[in-house]
Amino acid sequence: MANFAVIENNNVINTIVAESKTIAEQVTGKTCIEYTDANPACINGTYNGSVFISPKPYASWVLDGSTKQWKAPTPMPITEGKFYDWSEEDLNWKEVK
């Protein structure tokens, strides 16, 4: 069995587990692309012809062209024992208390 993303207009609209791409496409009536843990697909993400891209988490974040991962405008601080959340309003990381 393999995991397939169901694609419509380059958007991932669903996922399916099937024995083959042919079966996945017969069941869904749509184009299906196999995905793996190394290149995961998620519903509402996109497929650019070679990799799956997750939905943009915040308006200010940009897509890293080499990793195809979304990046915050500033790197998240790394402080032992502290956790951070992105604040789109402040365009900065805020410590979670």
What pLDDT, on the 0 to 100 scale, is given for residue 67? 87
pLDDT bucket at 97, cuts 50 / 70 / 90: confident
pLDDT bucket at 12, cuts 50 / 70 / 90: very high
pLDDT bucket at 28, cuts 50 / 70 / 90: very high
**Structure token pair of residue 18:** 């099937």
**Residue 47 pLDDT > 90:** yes
Secondary structure string (H, E, C) spanning the chain: CEEEEEEECCEEEEEEEECCHHHHHHHHCCEEEEECCCCCCCCCCEECCCCEECCCCCCCCEECCCCCCEECCCCCCCCCCCEEEEECCCCEEEEEC
Output 64-71 pairs: Cβ under 8 A, ≥24 positions apart. Answer: none
**Structure token pair of residue 94:** 């805020």
What pLDDT, on the 0 to 100 scale, is given for residue 35? 97
Task: State the average pLDDT over residues 47-51.
Answer: 93
**Residue 60 pLDDT > 90:** yes
**Residue 31 pLDDT > 90:** yes
Task: State the average pLDDT over residues 12-36.
Answer: 97
